[in-house]
Copies of this chain bind each other. A is one copy, B any other.
């Protein structure tokens, strides 16, 4: 059984046609898992639905505690890309021991035709099943140890440091 914690981010942004702006509503995760014909046993829980630039220390503490108390040893966290590495660090510093935690996100909302979300979800769900315990970021088809990655804000690409 794999646990998926949803925190929002570009992954789940939708277009609000009355205001003409981007907003959050329900997560697209169940629909994405259905589209991927995913038969891994997963349990999805939405912790928050926010832009990761708005994420506070209290939000991160909540994510850490949810990961700590989850019964599953394999956890995927969907997250905005801007501060994904910060949350990865918070999780790593919490010493969650024997758990494999993979953070992923998207550069373009799933609801857009051109989203990388489905690719990234397939990638994160796969990495979490085979990587050793630890905290990782899965983006651009690659995985990175939490402390060896940064988002290049000029290119939008995650790269090793």
Write the residues of chain A forming the contact surface with B, with a CB cutoff of 8 angstroms. 10, 15, 17-18, 20-22, 32-33, 35-40, 51, 53, 80, 82, 107-109, 111-116, 118-127, 129-131, 138-143, 153-154, 156-159
Residues of B within 8 A of A37 (CB): 107, 116, 119, 139-141, 156-157
Closest to A154 in B: B18
Q: A20-B82, A122-B121, A122-B126 are in contact. Are A141 and B36 (CB under 8 A)?
A: yes
Residues of B within 8 A of A140 (CB): 36-40
Question: What are some 20 contacts across the A-B interface (CB < 8 A)?
Answer: A18-B153, A21-B22, A32-B119, A35-B116, A36-B119, A37-B141, A37-B157, A39-B140, A40-B141, A118-B118, A122-B122, A122-B141, A123-B126, A125-B141, A126-B126, A126-B127, A126-B138, A126-B143, A127-B130, A129-B143
Given contacts A35-B115, A130-B143, 17 further A-B contacts (CB under 8 A): A17-B107, A18-B154, A20-B22, A20-B51, A36-B116, A36-B123, A38-B141, A39-B158, A40-B142, A111-B112, A118-B119, A118-B122, A119-B122, A125-B141, A126-B138, A127-B130, A129-B142
